């Protein structure tokens, strides 16, 4: 099936799932802790992942699935067609704010992102990317507002643990920038970079499902995204990540190379 046709199907699933979340988040939410009191999962995270798995198994039987909540079989390699799902990105925001969370689905073939959707549910912002076919926001073709800007001319996003520990002296980056913004959802951080609202984002530990969908848009727009070391993202394992416009990405990399042996 053509990627465009697949993308239309995925978009319908996402709107259906988003309506389910909006209808149920006020009254039907049960919250559990996973690894610690800040690592939450709700029945709605699990229901949303199950819904996507059922759709994939029905429409595209035999294709691999990697989902954050592990609601079924998982892949052991990225060979062939693979779906990477974060049913609710920003679960803490979902629980505590009922706002600022995203549904994210990526479709990969042999380890290469082909389709990525990041949907900011409450803002109703649908970021859609198809490899070699550009990026759309809410159905409209999207191009970057500018090709590049220095860190001194914009806002940046740095994961709070990097800032609190001042890993790689990351606080220096905040001083150089116009300011810091943190959204609590990797997907919303990537939408913000895509829109040029922030110039870059870094996190020490993003899972494949945190970046798979957004990575398709980032690549398609010619923005920079790698592990902190400069290595390509590993979509089977957690990654320390730099993403951004070229100058800010280079500035992050320089900071990392300067201080990596001193942490
Ligand atoms: C989390 C969010 C958060 C990021 C964490 C992720 P989740 O995803 O994207 O912004 O800092 O690393 O785990 O668990 O809410 O889907
Ligand atoms: Ca989670
Ligand atoms: Ca996530
Ligand atoms: Ca999640």
Superfamily of domain 3-142: Fructose-1,6-Bisphosphatase, subunit A, domain 1 (3.30.540.10)
Indicate the pTM of the whole model: 0.97
- What's residue 13's pLDDT? 98
Atom of ligand 1 nearest to the CA of 186: 9
> Into which CATH architecture does domain 151-262 fall?
3-Layer(aba) Sandwich (3.40)
Location of each CATH 3.30.540.10 domain in the chain? 3-142
Predicted-assembly ipTM surpassing the 0.90 threshold: yes
Atom of ligand 1 nearest to the CA of 39: 14
Which of 186, 209, 241, when mutated, tests ligand 1's pocket best, judged by the most ligand atoms within 8 Å of its CB? 186
Which of 35, 71, 89, 99, when mutated, tests ligand 1's pocket best, judged by the most ligand atoms within 8 Å of its CB? 89
- What's residue 72's pLDDT? 86
E strand residue ranges, 183-222: 200-206
User: CB of 204 closer than 6 A to ligand 1?
Assistant: no
- pLDDT tens-place string over residues 197-249: 999 999 999 999 999 999 999 999 999 999 999 999 999 999 999 999 999 99
| Parts of the chain with a pLDDT under 50 | none
Atom of ligand 1 nearest to the CA of 40: 14
CB burial of residue 101 (10 Å; 0-12, 13-18, 19+) = buried
Q: How far apart are CA 178 and CA 25, in angstroms?
A: 35
- What's residue 263's pLDDT? 64
Q: How many CA atoms are closer than 13 Å to the CA of 105, on its beta-carbon side?
A: 27
Location of each CATH 3.40.190.80 domain in the chain? 151-262
- pLDDT tens-place string over residues 98-121: 999 999 999 999 999 999 999 999
Task: Report the greatest alpha carbon distance in the chain.
Answer: 51
């Amino acid at each position: 099936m053509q990627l465009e046709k697949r993308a239309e199907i995925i978009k319908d699933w996402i709107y259906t799932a988003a309506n389910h979340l909006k209808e149920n988040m006020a009254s039907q939410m049960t919250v559990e802790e996973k690894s610690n009191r800040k690592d939450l999962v709700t029945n709605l995270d699990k229901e949303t992942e199950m819904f996507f798995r059922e759709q994939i198994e029905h429409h595209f039987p035999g294709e691999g699935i990697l989902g954050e909540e592990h609601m079924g079989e998982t892949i052991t390699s990225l060979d062939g067609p693979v779906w990477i799902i974060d049913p609710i990105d920003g679960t803490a925001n979902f629980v505590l704010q009922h706002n600022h969370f995203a549904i994210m689905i990526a479709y990969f073939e042999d380890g290469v992102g082909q389709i990525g959707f990041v949907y900011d549910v409450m803002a109703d912002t649908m970021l859609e990317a198809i490899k070699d076919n550009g990026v759309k926001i809410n159905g409209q073709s999207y191009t970057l507002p500018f090709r590049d800007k220095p860190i001194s001319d914009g806002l940046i996003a740095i994961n709070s643990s990097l800032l609190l520990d001042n890993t790689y002296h990351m606080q220096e980056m905040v001083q150089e920038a116009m300011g810091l913004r943190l959204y609590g959802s990797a997907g919303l951080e990537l939408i913000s970079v895509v829109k040029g609202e922030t110039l870059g984002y870094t996190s020490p530990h993003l899972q494949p499902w945190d970046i798979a969908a957004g990575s398709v848009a980032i690549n398609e727009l010619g923005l920079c995204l790698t592990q902190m070391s400069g290595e390509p993202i590993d979509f089977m394992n957690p990654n320390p990540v730099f993403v951004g416009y070229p100058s800010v990405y280079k500035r992050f990399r320089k900071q990392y190379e300067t201080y990596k042996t001193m942490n």
